[in-house]
Structure 1
Amino acid sequence: MDTRKFPRLGITLRRAMLGAAALSISSTAFAQSGTPDETLPQSVGNEPAGEAIIVTGSRIAASGFSAPTPITALDQEQLIEAAPSTMADALRTLPALTNTSGPQSNSGTTNGGQSFLNLRSLGRERTLTLLDGRRMVPSALTGSVDANLIPSALIQRVDIVTGGASAAYGSDAVAGVVNFVVDKRFEGVKLDAHYGLTEHGDNKEFKATGAYGTSFADGRGHFEVAGEYYDTKGVEPIDRKWSRQGNTFINGPAGGPTRIISSDVLSVGTVGGMILNGNGGTADANAALGGIQFLPDGSMAPYDFGSYRAGSQQIGGDGVNTELYQALARPMSRLNFYGRTQYELAPEVTLFAEGLFGRSRTTYANGANRHQIGNPLTIQADNAFLPDEIRDQMLDTGVTSLTFLRHSRDRGLVTTRNNATTYRIVAGAEGDVSGWHWEAYYQRGQSKQDNDIFNMENVPRFLQAVDAVESNGQIVCRSSLANPANGCVPFNPFGANAPSEAALDYVLGTSHSVSKLTMDNFALNASGTLFEGWAGPISAAVGAEYRKERANVTSDIDSQNFAWIFGNPQPWSGGYSVKEAFLELQAPLLRDVAFAQELDINGAVRVTDYSTSGSIASWKAGFSWVPFEGLRIRGTRSRDIRAANVNELFSAGRQFTASVTDPFNNNVLVRGIPNIAGGNPDLRPEIANTLTLGAVIQPIQVPGLSMSVDFYNIKIRNAIVTITPQQVVDQCFGGNDFACNLTERDAGGNLTTIFGTPINLSSQQARGLDFEVSYRTSVGDLIGPDTQLSVRTLASYLDKLENVVPGSPPIDRAGEVGLNGTPHWGGNMQMRLSSETLGFFMQGRLIGGGAYDNTRTSADLSLTKIDPIFYLDTQISYKLPVLDRGVELFLDVRNLLDKDPPIAPAAANIAMATNSSVYDLVGRNFRFGVRVRY
C-alpha cells in the first residue's frame, strides 16, 4: 500500500490472539500481543494464575477485552538478551526506539550519563515513561526520565504503546508510552553479574544486580528489594582508527560542492598559539606576520596550512584535530535501589509503599578553551611577552596588533562532571468493592543534578591577563595600570607551557550549577463492570489526579555574568500544577455472529487543567473486530496532548556554541557561534491527532506463525520545538522575519549570536508502518531436552517526519541518517534456541541508508547518501547442574562482525565522524556473566 497516496488509510496484519504466544513471552525474543490486557489463565513470571495483568494502553482492569492500540511487550529475559548492559540499550534495539539517547558521544555539558527514550523519533519529551502505570519524577529539566533508574532486577516486563495514550495516561504521550511493570509477587533470590570489554581492551564494564522477595504474616504481606550497580570506563576517540582521522566537512573550492567531506580536516590554530595575520599596517605587512606558530617551549616555527584551507578549517598541516576532544562512549557509574512492601489490612483493602533511589556520575571531556577565527585574540604591539623579533617587525612595518589563535589546553581539556541523584516514594491503598477495583496513592519525587565544568576560561579575566605590558621593569596587566588592586595576573600565550601557574589560577575556574526538580502527585482510580450487555460486560474506568512540578536552577556568579567561554547557565525557577479527570469505557458489541466472531469498542476522554495554559481535552476511540478465527482488525483515532515542560516555559538561558552553514555568505561553514537558549512562558499545549489502523493474522493452519503490519499517522498542531541554529539561519534566509529576529550579525554581516527560543510550530507529522513476522515451534532435542525455536522479525518504515516553521516551507527529515537519526527503514531480526540446559540467541539489527541532509543537494554537499548497515549480536548460555539449574553462565557478543560506523559527520561545533545517536561506536564487545535464581 502506498501510504503517500492514502495517508489516512493503512491495513495492518497483527497477531490475532494472545493465547499461547502471550503465555510464552519468556521464550520469544519479543512478544507483541494482539490482546494485551486479557486475564491470563496461567502465571507469567511470578504473578499468580488468574491475577489481572494490566498492560499500558487502558486503565480498565483485565476483562477479556482486546485493546485496539498496538502494544509491544518485552519480559526481563528478552531485555537481557537484547542487550545485557542497560535497560535503555535493550529498548533501543527496537526500530521504534532506535534514536534513543544515551551516554555515547555528543556535544554538550549536561545529562551526560543518562538515557532518554524516544519513540518514533518525535523527541524524548513526547515519550511518557511510567513505572507500574505511574509517572516518574523527571530526570532532566526537559521532563524526560532516565530509563536506567528503573530497577531492572524486579522488572517483570516492559509494555510499549505507540500511539493514542494521552486519554488513558495524560500529557506527554504524543508518541506513546513505555511502562515498566514491576513483579510485585517475587519470591526468592536472584543475582546477576557480568564483566565486559571490547576486543581493543577498552570500554570495560561491570554490572551487578540483585533482588530478594518474601511473604510474611501468613501471606498477607509481601516485601521485596532490588539493587543495581553499573560502571563503564568508556572509549576515547584516539582508540578507533575511523574516529581519529579527522573525517568531517570543510568548505569546498569554487566550482564544486559548497561543502566537501575529507579526512584530516583540522581546525586552524595550535595549542601553543599561532599568528593568523597582522592589523593596522599595509596588506603586505599584515600578511608577512601571518603563519607563525609557537611551540611548547615558546620558540617560533612556520605554521603549515596544509594542502587546502577554507575559513577556520584546513586539510592536513599543523592544525588541531577537534574530533579527538570527546569520548566515543562516556565513562559512567550508577547505583540504584528499589524496595516495595504491601500488607493486606482487610480482605478487600491492601496498603502498599515503595521507594526508589538512584545515583549516577559521569566525567568527560568537552573540548579546549578555543580562540579560533570566530573569536580570536588580539595581541598588541607592546605586549610584554611578545618575542622581540616579532615586536621589532611590527614597529618597523606599522603593524599595531596581531590576530592570534590558540586552542588553550594548559591544564588539560575542559571537563564536565555530572552527578545526578533521584528519589521517589509512593504510598497508597487499593482494594475491591462490589466488583470494582480501586486505588489511591500519593507520590513524591525529586531529581537533582550537580554540574561542574572544570578548566573553564573566564573570558573577561583571560582577555585582561593576555593584554600584558611592561611597567617599571615588571610585567603587569594593562588593566592594573589604572587599577593596581584588581588582582590580574599576566598570561603568556606564546607556547603550550608558557603560562605561569599563577596566571592559570587567575584565568581558569569551575562553572557550577545545580538543577532540582520536584514532583508531587495525588491520584484516585477505579475500574470495574457497569452492567452486563447483550454481548458481554460493559466496563469502565474513572479517575482524578493532581500533579505539581517545580524546578529550581542555581549557578555561580561568573555564569550569571556570562563570564565563561561557554555554558553560563542562568538561575531560574518555575513550576506548574495540573488537575485531571478521566473516564474510559469499553463494550463488546457483537459475539459469534455471521460477520463478527468478536466486535469490541473502546473510548476514553480526559480533561486536563494546566495552571499555565488553561484546560484542554484529550480523547480516543477504538475498535477491535474479529471477522473469523485467526484474523483481528483494529484501529484507534485519538487526540493526544503535550504541554510545555518547565524548561521550555521558564528557563533563563544557557550558552552553547554552534556550527552553521551560512546561506547569506555563500553557504560557508561557520564554527563557534554563541547560541543562547531560553524559555517561553507563552507556549500553548501541542495537540496531536493520531490514527492507527491494523489487522492481525495468525493462521490456524500454521500454529505459532504470526504476521503483522501497522499503520500510524501522527499530526501535531502547535508543536513545541526549539528550532536548531541551522534552521534559524535557513528560515531567515527564506524570508522568515521571526527567525531573523533570533540572529545577530556584526557590521560586516558575520553571524555573532543565535538565540534558541521554544515556539509553537504550525505543524509536525510522523507517518509510517510497522511490520512483524514471528514463528515459534518445538524442535525436539536439538540442543537439549525440549528445545524450543523462536524466530521473529520487526521492521519499521518511516514515511514522513515533517516540521513546518511558521512562514516557511515544510522540511521532511524522514530518511536522514547523517544530520538526523531518522532512516526510512529499521529492523530487528532474532532467533532463539532454548532447552533445559542450553540457550542460543542471535540478533540482527538493520539501520537503513539514506540522505545525509534532505535539504541539501550534491551542489551543497559532496556526501549526500549513506549506505545501510547491519549489526549482528549473539549470546550463548549454559545452566549448570546445581540449584536445580538455577545457575546460568553466558557469553554475549555485541557487533559480532566488528562493523565500524559509516562516515556521517555531526553538525556540531566539535567534529564527530558519525551520527552517535544511531550507530555503534565501540565495535565488537564481549560480556561474560552469571545468573543465579533460587
Structure 2
Amino acid sequence: MNTTHRSTRKAALLAAVMPFAVILSTAAHAQAAPQTPADPQATESADDIVVTGSRIARPEVDSPVPVTTITNAQLLQRASPNVSDILNELPQVAVGSTRTNSNFLTSGTGISTVNLRGLGSNRTLVLVNGRRFIGGFGGDTAVDLNNIPVDLIERVDNITGGSSAVYGSDAIAGVVNFIMRDSFEGLQVRAQGGITERGDSGRYLVSVTGGTKWGADDRGNALFNVSYDRDQGLFSSDRAISAQDCANLVCGPASYSSFAPQGQFQLINGANAAVSALPGGVSNFSYNPDGSLALLRGYQGGAYGFNRNGVRRISVPLERYLANAIVNYELTDSMKAYGEVTYGRTSSNASLEASALAETDIYASGGIPITNAFIPTSIANAINLANSDANSANDITSIAFRRRQNDVFSRSNRAKRDTWRAVAGVRGDLGSKFNYDVSYVFGHLNDFNASQDVDTARYRQSLDSIRIGAGNVVGTDIVCRDVAARANGCVPINLFGLNTADPRAASYVQAVVPKSEEITNEQHVITASVSSSSLFDLGAGGVGAAIGVEYRKESVVDDLDILTNTGGNSGNQIPDLRGSQSVREVFGEVNVPLLSDRGLFRYLGVNGAIRYSDYNTIGGVLSWNAGAEWEPVRGLRLRGRYAVANRAPNNSELFSAPSETFAGVTDPCDGITRTSTGGGDAACRAVPGIAAFFAANPNGTFAYTLADTQGINGFVGGNRNLKEETAKTITAGFTFTPDFLRGFQFTADYFDIRVDDAINTLDRSDTVEKCLLTGDAVFCDNVLRFAPTGYLQTVNAQLINVAGYKVRGIDASVRYSRPLGLTENDNLSIIGNYTYQIDYRLQTDPASPVDEFAGSFGRGFSEHRANVRATYRTNGTGLSWQTTFLSGGPFTVNNFISNDPAVVALNDVKDYWLHNLQISQEVTAGFTFFFNIDNVFDKKPQYLPGTPFNTPTGLETSADFDLFGRAFTAGARFRF
C-alpha cells in the first residue's frame, strides 16, 4: 500500500469530512439511551431504563458503551421495505449477505445479514428485544434480517466491541438489538411502491399494524403486524457495466465461456490426448450460428462461446410474508406476563447460466463413444479414416466435449424459507429493590431449496446411442444401446448443435429426485435473571447489579438429495450435516458509583460483567469486561471498557462431514532435482520417499504425471476439535451534551478489537508448502504422502483455529435538533455518524504475513466513512436529505500485482458519494404521503471485473456501490 498517499489523504479527508459530519447527519445517531425500554428487563420507572449492552436498569441516560441508534422515524424516512438496506448504510457495517451478492449461494439465496466491522456476520450477535433469534443459514447463528418487520421496530441499537459477558457467544464485533414496540392502539397501514429510472427492479410493500388494550382495567395490550413485500430483482444484462462477460478488462465475445449451448467437441485417444484428425490438422469442432459445422483449434470463446452474464442477476428477487404478534398482561401490580410470536416466509430464486458439463463430469475417463448415432457424418468419416491407418497411437477412442446444458436442465435454484419464533416470559418486581425476568425462546427454521441436475449414470446411457433403423426418429431409429436402460425409458440425447436435445432425452437424463437441500435449524433458550439498580448506596448513588443463568441448545439437520450424497450428479459429493450443541451459563454484572458532585467528579463509577459458559462441545469458556465512567463537568462524560469476548464454533463448523475433493493441488516438490536450490527444495529432498527416489536416480527429476496430480484427493469439512475464538476489545470515548447548545449531542469513541484463534481453512496447495517450510503440525497434519514414492496422496482442508484479526478505529456521532423560526412549527434536525478506520489487519495463519486492508475501498475498509441526514419539517411538510460517503483507495491490497497500467488504474477507486432525498406531506391527521429519490445524481459504480478483482459473479463491480441507479419510491401511511 502507498503509505505516503494514505497519510496525505488522511490529513485532507479528516479536515474535509469531520466538519461535514458535525454539520450534517446520518441515518443513525449515537445516543446514550432513548426514553423507551431497551430490553425486556426494563423496569416500569420512566427514569430507570436498560440499555443494550447491560442488564442493569440505570437512572441516567448515559450508556457505559458506545451505542448507535436508528429510530423508527429514521426507518420511515428511508422508506425501505427491508431493514437490512438501512443497517448496511451505517459506517460501522460492512457488506454481509445481501440481495446483490447471494445469486450464487447454494443455500443462502436472498438471505440478508449484518456484518459489523467487517469481521463477519457470524461474529455479530443479533437480538430482538434483548433475546436471541434463530440463525438463517444451516448450522450458523447469523440471523436472516428478512424476518424483522420494519414497521414494528421502535428502534435499533448497535454497540461496538465484545459483549459476550452480557449476552454470550458471537458478540465479538458487537451487538445489533432490535427493540420492538410493546404497545399500540388503533390501526396503521403503510403502502408503497418503487421502481428505478430505467423501469426495472420494482419493489412493493403493504404493511398493517394494529393494537388494542384488553382485559380487566386494561391490564393487557396486544399488537400485531402483517406485511407483504416483493422485490423483482435485477438481471446483469439490465446494466451496461455487467451486460457482457468480462475478464482482465475485456468484455464481450473475447471473454465468453467456451462451454457453449451448441457444444464444442474434441477428438481424443485412449490417453485423453487430443488427436488432430480433422481437415487443417485440428482436433476440435463446433457449430456456426446457421447450424453449419465449424472446425476449431482448441476450445474457443468468441463467436463460438456463451455470454454467461446474459442470464445472471445483479440482485435476486425476493417475496416475503411476515406476521408478528406481541402480547403483554399485568397479572398483578408487580408481575407482567409477555409473549411474542413471529412467522416469516421468504421465497427467492437465483438465475444462473445453465450448467457447463464436460466429459470429465460424466465419465471417469474418455468421452462420448465414437459409435454415437448423432456424430456428424463428416466427423464420423474423419474418425474412421484416422482409425484405419497403421498408427494406433492416433486412434480416436472417444469425443471430449464442453457443452452448456441450456436445453437439458436448469441449475437455477428456488429457495423457500419458513421461520418460526416464539417467546414466553414473565417479569416483575421483587419488593422495592429487585426486578426479575424469566423467558423461554423457541426458534425454528425450515429452508428448502431445489434445482435440477443430471443423473450421470443415465447421461452415460443416453450418450451411448446406436442406429437400428433407416430413419432419424429418436427412440425408434436411434435408441440407447443398453437394452435394460431402454426398458427403463432411456432416450438418446443429441449434444451436437444448438437445441438438439430431444425433450424426452433431457427428461430422462435429469435426476429422478431433483437436486435439493432441506435445512432445519432449531433453537431453545431459557434465561432467568434478577437485577437491581440500587442494592445499596456508597454515597454517590445506588450500586446496581444483575445475576442470571441461561441454557441454550442449537441443532441442525441439513439433508441433501441422495445423488448429491453419493456423487451421482454433476456436482461434488457432499454428505448431510447433523449436529447439536448446548451450553449452560451463569452471568453477573455490577455498576458501582464511586463519587458524585465533588469538584471535577460530578460522577465517577466503575462497571463490570462476567459470564461462565459450559459447552458440551468445547468445554468451559470465561468472558468478562470492566469499565469506568467519569463526568468531570456537566454535559461531558468519559467512558472506557476492556472486554474479553468469545465465539464458540457453530454447528456447521463443528459437524459438517468431510466431503471429498479432487481439486488441483500443486506440490512445490514437483520438478526438483538432487541439486536444485529452490526455497523448499531441501525440505522436499528430506521427505523419505523423495530421498529414496534420488538415491535410486541421482540425475533424475522428481516430477508428477497428469494422472499423479489428478489422483490427489482431500477432504474439506468441519472439525469437532475446534475451540472458541477469543477477542480482546477496548472502547474509550466521551459524550458531550452542553447546556449552552440545547438539542446538541456529540460522541466520539475509539475501538480496538483483536480476534485470536479465528476459525478458517487453509488453501490446500499453500498447506503443502507451509508444511515443508515450517514443519508445523497445523499444516503437516493435513498432508499425507505415499510413503514409498513421496508423491502427495491426500491434502485436507479442515476448519482450524488459525487466523487472527486486528481492527481499530474511531467512531464519531452528532445529533442536533432546533427550531429555525421560519414558520411557527418548523424544526431542523441534524444527525450523523462517521468512522475513521485506523487498522484492519488479517493474518490467515501464523506462517503468513499480516495483510492490512484499512485504507482500501469498501464499507468495512475505507479510511473515512460517513452517513449523513438532515431533515427540515414545517406544518406537516418534511424534506430530508441523506448522504453516504466512502473514501477511495485501492480495491485489492492482498498480493495485488499487475503489469497492466489499466488494471492498476482501476484498482484505485475514487471517493464515493451517494445522495438520497425524501419529501413527505401530512395531508390530514393520520394520513401522510411520501416520495423518495434514491441515488439522486444517478452515481454509477466503478468497473471492477470479477477477473482480476474477485467481485461477486455477475456484477463486474463491487456490492459496496449502489448497483441500481436513480430510483423512485412513492407511498402513504394511514393511521386510524
* TM-score w.r.t. length of structure 1: 0.86
What's the CA shift string for 1:823-862, capped at 9, x where partnerless?
3332212221122311111111123333333222334776
Please say if residues 33 and 62 of structure 2, whose CA atoms lie closer than 8 Å, have aligned partners that are also in contact: yes
Q: Which residue of 2 aligns with 1:809?
A: 849
> SS in structure 2 opposite 1:153?
helix
Separation of aligned partners in 1, 2:621 and 2:807:
22
User: C-alpha displacement at 1:382, in angstroms?
Assistant: 2.5
Would you say 1:576 and 2:603 are equivalent positions? no
Structure 1 residue runs without a partner (length 5+): 6-11, 13-20, 251-259, 306-311
Higher helix share: 2
2:516 partner amino acid: H
Mapped partners of 1:665, 1:489: distance in 2: 46
For residues 150 and 120 of structure 1, what CA distance do their matches in structure 2 show?
A: 21
Structure 1 partner of 2:916: 874
Whether contact under 8 Å (2:171, 2:645) holds in the other structure is: yes
Structure 1 range deviating more: 262-271 or 752-761: 752-761
Secondary structure, counterpart of 1:85 in structure 2: coil
Q: CA deviation at 1:599?
A: 1.2
Mean CA deviation greater in 429-438 or 293-302: 293-302
Match of 1:171 in 2: 169
Match of 1:218 in 2: 217
Within the candidate set 822, 827, 834, 2:873 is matched to: 834
Q: Which residue of 2 aligns with 1:9?
A: none
Tell me which residue corresponds to 2:676. Answer: none
Query: Does the aligned pair in 2 maintain the 1:248–1:263 contact within 8 Å?
Result: no
Q: CA deviation at 1:513?
A: 1.9
Q: Select between 626-635 and 331-340 the one with higher mean Cα deviation.
A: 626-635
* Superposition pairs of residues 616-655 of structure 1, within 5 angstroms: 616-652=621-657
Deviation per CA, 1:691-737: give whole Å up to 9, x if none.
11213334555444444432211111221224578976996898788
Q: Call closer, same or farther: CA 1:51–1:227 in 2, change over 3 Å.
A: farther
Which of the numbers 342, 346, 360 marks the counterpart of 2:328? 342
Aligned partner letter, 2:131? R
Query: How big is the shift at 1:657?
Result: 12
Q: What one-letter code is carried by the residue in structure 2 that aligns with 1:267?
A: S
- The answer to whether the aligner puts 1:407 opposite 2:404 as a matched pair is yes
- Residue 392 of structure 1 is matched in structure 2 by 381
Task: Give the counterpart of 2:451 among 450, 453, 458.
Answer: 453
Matches within 5 A, 1:632-781: 632-652=637-657, 677-723=716-762, 757-781=798-822
Q: SS at the partner of 1:513?
A: strand
Matches within 5 A, 1:548-587: 548-566=553-571, 569-587=574-592
Structure 1 residues 266, 872: CA separation in 2 closer, same or farther (over 3 Å shift)? same
**Structure 2 partner of 1:823:** 862
| Structure 2 equivalent of residue 255 of structure 1 | none
The match for 1:320 is 306
Q: Is the 8 A contact 2:194 2:203 kept in 1?
A: yes
Of the candidates 356, 359, 367, which is equivalent to residue 353 of structure 2?
A: 367
CA distance in 2, matches of 1:607, 1:913: 45
Q: Is the 8 A contact 2:819 2:825 kept in 1?
A: no
Change (3 A) 1:789 1:444: closer
1:479-518 equivalent positions in 2, closer than 5 A? 480=482, 488-509=490-511, 510-518=514-522
SS at match of 1:902: coil
When residues 248 and 372 of structure 1 are mapped into structure 2, their CA distance, relative to the original with a 3 A threshold, is farther
**1:851 partnered with 2:841:** no
Q: Distance in 1 between matches of 2:619 and 2:772?
A: 36
1:21-76 Cα distance to aligned partner (Å, 9 max, x none): 9xxx9x9842201x3378899xxxx9998264422110111322733211111111
Question: Higher mean Cα deviation, 709-718 or 582-591?
Answer: 709-718
Larger radius of gyration: 2
Q: Distance in 1 between matches of 2:458 and 2:396?
A: 26
* Ranges in structure 2 where 5+ consecutive residues have no aligned partner: 8-13, 15-21, 387-394, 471-476, 672-708
Mean Cα deviation higher: 192-201 or 139-148:
139-148
CA apart distance, 1:367: 2.5
Would you say the 8 A contact 1:105–1:916 is kept in 2? no
CA 265–348 in structure 1, closer or farther in 2 if over 3 Å, else same: same
CA distance in 2, matches of 1:552, 1:860: 48
For residues 233-248 of structure 1, the aligned pairs below 5 Å read 233-248=232-247
Q: Is the 2:123–2:170 Cα contact (8 Å) retained in structure 1?
A: yes
Q: Displacement, 1:326?
A: 2.2
Paired residue type of 1:644: P
One-letter code of the match for 1:85?
Answer: P
Question: Is the 1:109–1:567 contact (alpha carbons within 8 Å) kept by the matching residues of 2?
Answer: no
Q: What is the rounded CA distance, in whole Å, between the counterparts of 1:373 and 1:483 in structure 2?
A: 20
Partner of 1:145: 143
Partner of 1:596: 601
Q: 1:724 to 1:154 in 2, by over 3 A?
A: farther
- Residue in structure 1 matched with residue 17 of structure 2 by the alignment: none
Q: Is the 8 A contact 1:691 1:712 kept in 2?
A: yes
Distance (whole Å) between structure 1 residues aligned to residue 616 and residue 244 of structure 2: 52
Out of 363-372 and 205-214, give the one that drifted further. Answer: 363-372
Is 1:81 the counterpart of 2:77? The answer is: yes
SS at structure 2 position matched to 1:410: coil
1:272 aligns with 2:262: yes
Instruction: Map Cα deviations across residues 215-263 of structure 1 (whole Å, 9 max, x no partner).
Output: 122221111111111111111111111111322338xxxxxxxxx8999
Q: 1:99 to 1:810 in 2, by over 3 A?
A: same
Q: Is the 8 A contact 1:298 1:494 kept in 2?
A: no
How far is the alpha carbon of 1:276 from its aligned partner? 4.5
Deviations 1:767-810 (A, max 9, x none): 2222334433321236x732324253423425223133143333
The 2-side partners of 1:422 and 1:656 are apart by: 33
Contact between 1:779 and 1:789, CA under 8 Å: does it hold in 2? no
| Residue of structure 2 equivalent to 1:357 | 343
The corresponding residue for 1:288 is: 281
1:887 and 2:927 correspond: yes
Aligned pair in 2 of structure 1 residues 458, 203: CA closer, same or farther (>3 Å)? same
- Contact 2:653 2:718 (C-alpha < 8 Å) held by counterparts: yes
1:427 maps onto 2:429 in alignment: no
Structure 2 residue 29 is matched with structure 1 residue 31:
yes
DSSP 3-state at the match of 2:942: coil
Are the equivalent residues in 2 in contact too, given 1:443–1:522 (CA < 8 A)?
yes
User: Amino acid of the residue matched to residue 543 of structure 2?
Assistant: I
Q: 405-414 or 183-192, which moves further after superposition?
A: 405-414
For residue 61 of structure 1, the aligned residue among 23, 32, 57 is: 57
**Does the aligned pair in 2 maintain the 1:636–1:693 contact within 8 Å?**
yes
Q: Distance in 2 between matches of 1:674 and 1:824?
A: 42
- Asked if 1:919 is matched to 2:961, the reply is yes
Q: Cα offset for 1:811? A: 3.2
Cα separation, partners in 2 of 1:519 and 1:626, compared to 1, 3 Å: same
With over 3 angstroms needed to count, the CA separation of the structure-2 counterparts of 1:354 and 1:527, relative to structure 1, is same
Report if the CA contact (8 A) 1:461-1:506 is conserved: yes
Q: 1:484 to 1:789 in 2, by over 3 A?
A: closer
SS of equivalent residue, structure 1 residue 95: coil
Please state whether the residue corresponding to 1:465 is helix, strand or coil.
helix
Do the aligned partners of residues 755 and 869 (structure 1) sit closer, same or farther apart at CA in structure 2, a change above 3 Å counting? farther
**Alignment partner of 1:122 is 2:119:** yes
For 1:499, give the aligned amino acid: A
| Contact 2:566–2:574 (Cα < 8 Å) also in 1 | no
Which residue is 2:105 aligned to?
108
Amino acid at match of 1:504: A
- Mapped to 1, the partners of 2:52 and 2:89 lie a distance apart of 20
**Helix, strand or coil at the partner of 2:563:** helix
